[in-house]
A and B are shown apart, each in its own frame.
Chain A
């Protein structure tokens, strides 16, 4: 549609018709087209999601028909690609939990501190340098982080921890922490920044100095946004693939020892997807089972994040 037509349609018609249509206005056609396009885009994402869920459900169902759910829950080994097959999910869950915990242990304090620094303490100039720098950190492709963990962090750590494996959960988790730190920092900074000025002033007017005001007034008031950001970051860590696939090894072990190689759920999916496992086989279906577990986990966390931010918002 050409611009001139749009204008002709949307600008008012001559006076003769005006009295008749004055109240019974019909939205101009251009507007309806845009609405339809938007609805179409919305539906597309809904269909994609539903499609993914259906594939996950169908393949997982096929898998469960063959293997049964007890194997998933009660076996402690995950060896679907070996001759002696075991389908216990725990080693993969432990791998994911371990790397994510290490990542959060790094990202949470660093992210909170830098958010507090940027929002409350830094001068306008320092903030103008820091925030883009942090956001750049978030823009680094994860494969770069993966190799950084493998070829820089692991050798460095091995000087301190001699029995650290060439592949290990520790350096993958640490680097993943660096990767998700900007997410926490940026969302937390937003949350702190949106705490009304009047609350800070109330604290200052009571004779509070800066640090107590930040820690006991501003941070609690921003708690909803902060906890949502943390859960989002955990969910991101759980779903992170490249770093763990490259630097953590691909050996499912049921362990919480960060020095040894492990395998996360995501890394397992990569491993099988990149291999030559034929479609329709049991091995092939395992990636959908793992995918379903991963989905349920991150979905649960997103719901929690939503609930938390709503509960805290309700309190303010």
Chain B
């Protein structure tokens, strides 16, 4: 064995690509919303998607777990890969894909007829994959993962909708974590929350990225700067710039990016 002093620090290895987006174009009816998006989203990182309202951020994130196609008249072309596998491939079941690529929505949407516990376990129950003997453990792990356990551990049987907005959103995150996804998509998860609840979710995102690959849409550029490793700037359905967050905010390559992050429009 060679002495430690001779070991040189290895160059930072680029983490493998988790999600590949290749020439993705999307339509609602005849209205084209995405015009050829290319992105390589690295594993165990946080990627923020920013851009003015209506530029297609939701459409893009929803095409990653094939929620886009649930809208009537919605259509998509191009390739999206998860670990190199085309998720729009013929033999891919969108239902199975969505168990690996979870999603948290803009407005907290816990199931109104279910208790906190049932909300957490809903994904497993709905997919008939709940191992009853592990239910308690899964509930606790998921709620701890979403930094909600201490607040709700004494009232797991009260309705999920009885929580505050921020707690409901963390419950929705816990619900997603319970099905053990690899990717977590978040579409403006904090836009309905106050600053305190927002910073709790941001802290949570920091912790979660050690396990999950996270893609987050946000209106808030400070938030993008705070939580993400990579940022994509979208403008009228085109990807203007996609690079490391630091770089994008300090030395943007495109003048349109610069205009947007300095608040000249949007």
A315 touches B98 (CB 8 A): no
**Bound form: Cα–Cα A206–B113 in Å:** 17
Cβ of A220 within 8 Å of any chain B Cβ, yes or no, is yes
Is there an interface contact between A205 and B102, defined as CB atoms closer than 8 Å? yes
Q: Which of A208-235 touch B at CB < 8 Å? A: 208-209, 212-213, 216-217, 220-221, 223
Cβ of B1 within 8 Å of any chain A Cβ, yes or no, is no
Q: Contacts A221-B111, A221-B112, A315-B112: A208 and B126 contacting too (C-beta < 8 A)?
A: yes
Segment 62-84 of B: residues with Cβ below 8 Å from A: 65, 67, 70, 72
Which of A201, A205, A208, A221 has the most chain B CB atoms closer than 10 A to its own CB?
A: A205
Q: Which of A212, A221, A223, A315 contacts B126 (CB 8 A)?
A: A212
Closest CB-CB distance, A198 to chain B, in whole Å? 4
Task: Check if B176 is an interface residue, CB within 8 A of chain A.
Answer: yes
**B172 part of interface (Cβ distance < 8 Å):** yes
Central interface residue in A202, A213, A223, by most chain B CB within 10 Å: A202
CB distance from A296 to the nearest CB of B (A): 32
**Interface check B107, CB cutoff 8 A:** yes
A-side interface size class:
20 to 34
CA distance A199 to B172 in the complex (A): 11
Q: Specify the main secondary structure of chain B where it touches its partner.
A: mixed
Given A204-B70, A212-B127, are A220 and B98 also a contact pair (CB < 8 Å)? no
Partner of A217, one of B95, B111, B127: B111
Tell me the minimal C-beta distance from B81 to chain A in angstroms. 19
Given contacts A204-B67, A205-B103, contact A223 B113 (CB under 8 A): yes
Q: Contacts A204-B67, A205-B103: A199 and B98 contacting too (C-beta < 8 A)? A: no
Q: Tell me the complex Cα distance, A46–B127, Å.
A: 53
Residue of A nearest to B175 (CB): A206
Name the A residues within 8 Å of B125 (CB-CB).
Answer: 216
User: How far is A223 from B113 in the complex, measured between Cα atoms in Å?
Assistant: 9
Residues of A within 8 A of B102 (CB): 205-206
CB distance from A313 to the nearest CB of B (A): 10
Chain B residues with Cβ below 8 Å from A223 are: 113
Kindly supply a per-residue 1/0 record for chain B positions 113-136, scoring 1 wherever the CB is within 8 Å of any chain A CB and 0 otherwise: 110000000110111100000000
Question: Among residues 174 to 201 in chain A, which have CB atoms less than 8 Å away from a CB atom of chain B?
Answer: 196, 198-199, 201
Q: How far is the CA of A169 from the CA of B161 in the complex (A)?
A: 46
Q: Which residue of B lies closest to A124 (CB)?
A: B72
Q: A316 an interface residue at 8 Å Cβ cutoff?
A: yes
Task: Pick the residue among B72, B98, B114, B159 that contacts A206 (CB under 8 A).
Answer: B98
Closest 9 CB pairs of A and B: A207-B99, A206-B123, A208-B126, A220-B113, A205-B103, A316-B112, A207-B98, A198-B109, A212-B126
Q: A203-B122, A205-B176, A207-B95 are in contact. List 7 more A-B contacts (CB 8 A).
A: A199-B109, A202-B105, A204-B67, A207-B97, A208-B123, A212-B127, A315-B113
Could you pull out 13 A-B pairs where Cβ atoms are within 8 angstroms?
A198-B109, A199-B112, A204-B70, A205-B67, A205-B98, A205-B103, A205-B176, A206-B99, A207-B97, A208-B123, A220-B113, A221-B113, A223-B113
